[in-house]
Amino acid sequence: MRHLFKGALKEELALPHNDHAASCSIDHELVATLSHEIRTSLYGLRGMIEQLKESGLTEDQARQVEMMDQSSSRLFGQLTDVLNYTRTESGELALNSTIFNPADLVDEVFQTFSAVAQQKKIELYYSEEIPLPRKVKGDVVKIKQVLQNLVSNAVKFTSSGQVVVSAAMKKDKYGCDPCLGYEVSDTGVGIGAEETKVLFEAYAHQEKNSRLNPDGMGLGLSIAKRFVDAMDGHIGIQPRPESEGALFYFWVPVKAFTELQVLPKAAAEAVTRRSLRILLVDDDPVSQYVTQNVLETAGHTVCIANDGLEAVRCYLRESFDLILMDVHMSEMDGLDATRMIRKIQHGGGFAPVIGLTAEEKSHIYDTCLQAGMDNVLSKPFGMDQLDAMVAQHMT
């Protein structure tokens, strides 16, 4: 796949300008369409794998399921890299700022790699020299993707020892605006001084340096740099002796909040939860099964609607505490269904609507919010992400 993708890119670069622009547009739409279908399938696959892990497997079965999980995670990462690369090539790289907790972001990234790190007996550490603000505003999706790519490389090329993520706030290059910075250091294979010159170029390292994605497509660091550049930040590698591993860093401008109004994680988890009556709207049977099983296991009551029109009819008949709404469906999509539901009142209030989407276009989050949704989950999301999202509405 790596060589096919590289070959296709070289052929495109040889086209006349107008033909090349049209080809890029067509290829981007094709990749986006394929991505939507693959991400939907991956959600069902990864959801079933997570549920299998909790089903009392034998030691051998557990090992097989773990390998399935790692393979699906790797496939998802490759798909994300291809989509992000085509997006940067086509110029569709809009920034979407939201408020997030920079320390929680590290926790989420570590969760992604915890199983692999445990297998390799690698310790994952997080440190803050000075406590960070609990709330900053920036493009959390892109910041997380950059951090994830750096941690992925660190774990992959560390056979023993540790991977350390450090976070800090600093001023930008003009000494004015606040910036959020992360460092990722490891005790793995080092990188020579000459090799750092092509570090962030797509494909350039493939035959030169086994440190960088030897079994991947060579896009991870290139995408990280494009994302950081788009956010007007900086990414690089700190020189170190090759025997001491590698240290990558990046920083991006953010808006910091001095007020600390976010509950500490332990306190948030201690809040008493209640059972919810949830309307699940999805036209994919596998996605339905996975999501319903997770919700019912957590003690919720789930009603199923197979498309947007059926969801509106259900909402007309009865009240719900929460609605999980797939965005793309037949008959009536989730956006139109949400708009209609927002016109229906039950006791003067509205049920929160969480959008579920496999679409990765940059505008989809804003589109969902404009339609009346309260939040959005991107497939394939993990069961812990679903649980955390639902938990916000259980107090």
Listed residues 192, 227, 256: the one ending a domain: 256
**43, 71, 90 - which closes a domain:** 90
- Same domain for 115 and 230, yes or no, is yes
Same domain, 102 and 251: yes
The domain tally of the chain equals 3
Residues 50 and 156 both lie in one domain: no
Task: Report the CATH number that the domain containing residue 214 is assigned in CATH.
Answer: 3.30.565.10
CATH number reported for the structural domain that contains residue 20 in this entry: 1.20.58
Do 114 and 136 reside in the same domain of the chain? yes
Pairing of strands 277-281, 322-326: parallel
19 pLDDT higher than 70: no
In angstroms, how far is CA 138 from the centroid of its own chain?
15
Q: 100 burial class (0-12, 13-18, 19+ CB within 10 angstroms)?
A: buried
**pLDDT score of 292 more than 70:** yes
Single out the residue of 394, 388, 323, 393 nearest to residue 101, CA to CA. Answer: 388
CA distance 130 to 141: 24
Residue 361: predicted pLDDT: 58
pLDDT at residue number 151: 92
Q: 95 falls in which pLDDT band (50, 70, 90)?
A: confident
What confidence score (pLDDT) does residue 269 get? 46
Q: Is 72 exposed, middle or buried (0-12, 13-18, 19+ CB in 10 A)?
A: middle
In a shared domain, residues 118 and 246: yes
The confidence band for 185, taking pLDDT boundaries of 50, 70 and 90, is very high
Whether the pLDDT of residue 125 is over 90: the answer is yes
204-250 pLDDT, tens digit per residue, is 444 444 554 445 545 678 888 888 998 999 999 887 776 788 899 99
Q: Does the structure show a pLDDT above 60 at 263?
A: no
**Do 43 and 181 lie in a common domain?**
no
Residue 27 φ then ψ, to 5°: -65, -40
Angstrom distance (rounded) from CA 261 to CA 184: 28
State which of 47, 73, 90 marks the end of a domain: 90
Same domain, 175 and 108: yes
DSSP label at residue 198? G
Phi, psi dihedral angles at 93 (to 5 degrees): -135, 65
Tell me which H or E stretch contains 85.
helix 59-90
Q: How confident is the model at residue 1 (pLDDT cuts 50, 70, 90)?
A: very low
* Confidence band, pLDDT 50/70/90 cuts, at residue 17: very low
Within this chain, do residues 85 and 12 fall inside the same structural domain, yes or no? Answer: yes
**Does one domain contain both 339 and 387?**
yes
Domain that holds residue 325: 265-391
pLDDT of residue 82 exceeding 90: no
Mark whether 344 and 387 lie in a shared domain: yes
Query: pLDDT digit string (tens) for 345-358?
Result: 665 567 899 999 87
pLDDT at 88: 66
Q: Are residues 131 and 60 in the same domain?
A: no
Check whether 79 has a pLDDT greater than 60.
yes
Distance CA 197, CA 184 (A): 19
Tokens 């030897």 map to which residue?
A: 214
168 Cβ contact list (under 8 Å, min separation 6) = 128, 129, 130, 132, 181
379 secondary structure, DSSP code: S
- Taking only the tens place, the pLDDT of each residue in 300-334 is 999 999 999 999 999 999 889 999 999 988 889 99
Residues 6+ apart with CB under 8 A from 34: none
CATH number at residue 276: 3.40.50.2300
For residues 384 and 282, state if they share a domain: yes
* 43 CB-near residues (< 8 Å, 6+ apart): 287, 290, 358, 379, 380, 381
Distances (CA, A) of 270 to 259, 265, 267: 22, 9, 5
Question: With contact defined as beta carbons under 8 Å apart, do 392 and 320 qualify?
Answer: no
Length of the chain (residues): 395
